[in-house]
């Protein structure tokens, strides 16, 4: 069966969709969806709503994998800090919803690909913290729309997916992981030391396939086969997981 992938989305308030009416719209950049389609999956859009763990598990019962997408900043209060002056776009509902989904996916062993904001949500959900504004500590590679090298750990899940120890990622962020969340290991860094990839501890062939990346593989996957391989690997894991739990 074609893998069905949950994709977290943004709610855009009172947008003119071109028909003359202003209405709330559920949105996701098309690059996520196109990359999933190329990998042989289809998407299930997830609207952020108030939710608890039981409801989060119910949301995931009919899907085979979870993509935590990019977007605005995670509320710093969720990791015990006051907001930096550059903090923007905070949504308590979206933060809580996506953290609940992430923890529910981990609980059942579902494959997860966490991208940009997604890696931050995953880290915070597991008790980690964030660097709130990277330009305060580094200016080497992290600028909106910048492409930069990422060194990945040999033998890691992301290394197996990308097929290389050094990839070129496209960044659209001003935050990154600081204190690592429980159960995560760093498996990729930029040249300035910024954490660019994490995954769950445990044997590659045993622990659930949960990978987070700080860059946006979906944005260059159409032209860069290495980045598409990451999406392909995730969808392949989702297909195998879904087939196993449904038999």
Set 142, 148, 174, 216: catalytic member? 216
**pLDDT tens digits along 36-47:** 999 999 999 999
Does 17 reside within a domain? no
Mean pLDDT for the stretch of residues 220-231: 98
Q: Which residues have CB under 8 Å from 46's CB, separation 6+?
A: 6, 7, 8, 9, 59, 97, 101
CATH of the domain at 84: 3.40.50.880
Q: How many domains does the chain have?
A: 1
- DSSP assignment of 79-91, as one string? GT-PPPTT-----
Does 68 reside within a domain? yes
Does 218 reside within a domain? yes
Does 116 reside within a domain? yes
**The pLDDT value given to residue 140:** 59
Q: Whole-number mean pLDDT of the chain?
A: 93
Contact 113, 231 (CB under 8 A): yes
Does 14 reside within a domain? no
pTM for the full model? 0.95
The alpha carbon dihedral of 28, 34, 39, 41 has a sign of: positive
Mean pLDDT for the stretch of residues 120-147: 86
What is the domain extent for residue 185?
4-9+24-245
For residue 21, pLDDT beyond 80: no
Does 39 reside within a domain? yes
Does 50 reside within a domain? yes
Set 98, 99, 196, 218: catalytic member? 218
Set 116, 159, 173, 196: catalytic member? 116
Residue 61: active-site member: no
d(CA 74, CA 175): 10
Q: Which residues have CB under 8 Å from 176's CB, separation 6+?
A: 120, 130, 131, 134, 142, 194, 195, 196, 214
For residue 144, pLDDT beyond 70: no
Nearest of 140, 154, 117, 126 to residue 32 by alpha carbon? 117
Residue 9: active-site member: no
């Amino acid at each position: 069966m074609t893998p069905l992938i949950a994709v977290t989305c943004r709610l855009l308030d009172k947008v003119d969709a071109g028909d003359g009416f202003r209405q709330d719209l559920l949105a996701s950049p098309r690059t996520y969806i196109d990359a999933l389609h190329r990998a042989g999956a289809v998407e299930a859009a997830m609207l952020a709503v108030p939710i608890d763990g039981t409801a989060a598990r119910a949301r995931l019962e009919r899907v085979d994998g979870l993509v935590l997408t990019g977007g605005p900043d995670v509320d710093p209060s969720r990791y015990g800090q006051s907001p930096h002056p550059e903090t923007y776009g905070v949504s308590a509902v979206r933060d809580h919803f996506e953290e609940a989904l992430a923890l529910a996916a981990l609980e059942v062993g579902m494959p997860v690909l966490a991208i940009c904001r997604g890696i931050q949500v995953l880290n915070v959900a597991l008790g980690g913290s964030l660097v709130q504004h990277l330009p305060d500590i580094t200016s080497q590679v992290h600028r909106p729309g910048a492409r930069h090298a990422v060194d990945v750990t040999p033998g890691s899940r992301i290394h197996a997916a990308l097929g290389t120890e050094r990839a070129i990622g496209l960044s659209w962020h001003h935050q990154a992981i600081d204190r690592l969340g429980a159960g995560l290991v760093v498996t990729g860094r930029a040249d300035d030391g910024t954490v660019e990839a994490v995954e769950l501890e445990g044997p590659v062939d045993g622990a659930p396939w949960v990978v987070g990346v700080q860059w946006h593989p979906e944005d260059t996957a159409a032209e860069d086969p290495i980045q598409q391989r990451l999406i392909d690997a995730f969808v392949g894991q989702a297909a195998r997981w879904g087939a196993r739990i449904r038999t």
